[in-house]
Amino acid sequence: MIRVRTALLSVYDKEGLEELARGLSELGITILSTGGTYSRLAAAKIPVTSVSEVTGFPEILRGRVKSLHPKIHGGILACRETSQDMEDLARHGIQPIDLVVVNLYPFEATVSRPGVTMDEARENIDIGGPAMIRAAAKNFPQVAVVVSPSRYPVILEALRQDGGIPISLALELALEAFQRTADYDGQIVSFLSKQTDTSELFPSQLNLQLDKVGELRYGENSHQRAAFYREASPSTPSLAAARQLQGKPLSFNNINDASGALEILLEYDEPTAVAVKHTNPCGIASAPQIETAFVWAKEGDPVSIFGGIVALNRPVDKELATLLMDIFLEVIIAPAFTEAALEVLAAKPNLRLLEIPINAKRQPYMDYKRIPGGLLVQEADTRLLGDKPRVVTRKEPTAAEQEDLLFAWRAVKHVKSNAIVVAKGKRTLGVGAGQMNRITAAELALKQAGDQARGAVLASDAFFPFPDVVQAAASAGIGAIIQPGGSLRDEESIKAADEAGISMLFTGMRHFKH
């Protein structure tokens, strides 16, 4: 048990400060403080001693230096069980400090503001605060450290009921403290790395700062434990920025699938509906009205959409909500839901409704793939076409085919490889996903499209190593094909397309998604 006789309070965030200090004072604990914290407590008529009075040295450099002094750090770091340490304290008139309550300058909030300057950022890099936090955390068996106002009630309860702070609690607090300073330093490194032209896209060490949103019931399967973490300042649009309006808590698979649906949706500007199952789209459609887009997306694969995720880039009104009620869905994503829509959807209280600002500016980001013992890092695949897309066949695609080719190309980049998408009239008719060879993916997509494939377009995420996909497309009546090109045997596919009267566009960019 840590017996607290002296506490040092130095906080930027004053939430709960007076309640904590008043509680400590009532327990007979001496309070030391600095700068604005001292002024706040003195104004509240809570007994407090200035750190400058303890050190015998005034705050200098506009308050930059106030707590960096042996009489402060000696009091925090001294080992009470070591006679030499205690003799040093006595010799130099240093008072042991048993509780350190510190939170830091708002660096993260400062650098997240548009147009923040380097000087503003530097002035919000805390020095004394992290030094005190780390010192107290290092000495946790004898000093307790608190870095969040949410812990104040816990501290007061322990002091009132137990007469001290249990070592087990002090260890938890020390871990939180080191996590806080590590995150704080990581934010500084991240900001500064963006300000210099010499910064590497892939630094020699990678620091990730993620906040725990909460634990999930289980992972992909019921025997796997899982949790959800988000970036401290998630870029929007992002599932991490979603507001859940209704429904059961999101599961691991819900979050994964919903994020995939959102990524697809961001490819389209027109009113668009996306249906996703197991991270693959089973239906995508764009139409003048969002209600029509949803109906078309559902018709793209009326079997697979059952129990899936639907994402919409227009608000959900009563009419659309009524259509959505006709099928069992796990999650609906939209930029907004009208009150009338919410009343309709409330009839399915387990249905999860997520409001996400889909029209917000999309930010570039890094994509991470975990492997045992390491991490693969790459730029997210946010581009669409290569520098010189070109028609390689004698026949040119019609204007309608060109629109459908680009629609299908946006869709196929989000389908697991090997991937084929058949589309017509800005709606998917068939999707072949995740196959070990391209012809099987094509056969699946064409089979799903059936007779509707005649006059439709076909998109492939990667080039054709053989002419077999073109031949299968010709047999099904496909009118135009879009693919990256770049195979050593491109000429065979081009020849097969010319013989079948199919137009074919090379994008110059592939979109593998493994």
- Encode pLDDT of 4-24 as tens digits: 999 999 999 999 999 999 999
Q: Are residues 42 and 163 in the same domain?
A: yes
Residue range(s) defining the domain that contains residue 306: 239-355
Q: Are residues 314 and 257 in the same domain?
A: yes
Beta-carbon contacts of 479 under 8 Å, excluding residues fewer than 6 positions away, are 397, 398, 401, 455, 456, 457, 502, 503
Domain with residue 458: its CATH number is: 3.40.140.20
pLDDT given for residue 420 in this prediction: 98
- The answer to whether residue 298 is catalytic is no
Q: pLDDT grade, residue 197 (50/70/90)?
A: low
CA distances (Å), 419 to each of 16, 483, 511, in order? 55, 11, 9
Residue 304 has pLDDT above 60, yes or no: yes
Last residue of a domain, one of 330, 355, 380: 355
Number of helices followed by number of strands (H, E) in the chain = 18, 21
In whole angstroms, what is the distance from residue 446 CA to residue 424 CA?
12
In whole angstroms, what is the distance from residue 507 CA to residue 502 CA?
16
Q: pLDDT grade, residue 70 (50/70/90)?
A: confident
Of 45, 92, 138, 395, which is the active-site residue? Answer: 138
Residue 198 has pLDDT above 60, yes or no: no
> If you average pLDDT over residues 280-295, what whole number do you get?
97
- Tally of structural domains, the chain: 3
Q: Tokens at residue 7, please? A: 């506490």
Q: pLDDT grade, residue 275 (50/70/90)?
A: very high
pLDDT given for residue 227 in this prediction: 97
In whole angstroms, what is the distance from residue 12 CA to residue 49 CA?
18
Q: Is the dihedral of CA 235, 270, 294, 505 positive or negative?
A: negative
Residue 108 has pLDDT above 90, yes or no: no
Closest CA to 302 of 341, 328, 264, 271: 328
Domain-located, residue 494: yes
In whole angstroms, what is the distance from residue 298 CA to residue 432 CA?
17
In whole angstroms, what is the distance from residue 41 CA to residue 36 CA?
9
In the chain, pLDDT over 90 holds for what percent of residues? 75
Q: Are residues 63 and 174 in the same domain?
A: yes
**Average pLDDT in the chain:** 92
Q: pLDDT grade, residue 235 (50/70/90)?
A: low
Q: What three-state secondary structure class fits 363?
A: coil
Q: Tokens at residue 194, please? A: 């963006």
Q: What three-state secondary structure class fits 122?
A: helix
Q: pLDDT grade, residue 358 (50/70/90)?
A: confident
CA distances (Å), 87 to each of 39, 81, 93, in order? 33, 11, 10
Domain-located, residue 501: yes
pLDDT given for residue 66 in this prediction: 73
Residue 50 has pLDDT above 60, yes or no: yes
In the chain, pLDDT over 70 holds for what percent of residues? 97
**468-476 vs 490-500: helix crossing angle, rounded to 10:** 20
Tell me which DSSP letter residue 427 carries.
Answer: B
pLDDT given for residue 200 in this prediction: 66
Of 73, 92, 278, 388, which is the active-site residue? Answer: 278
> If you average pLDDT over residues 246-253, what whole number do you get?
95
Amino acid at 485: G
- The answer to whether residue 223 is catalytic is no
Domain-located, residue 30: yes
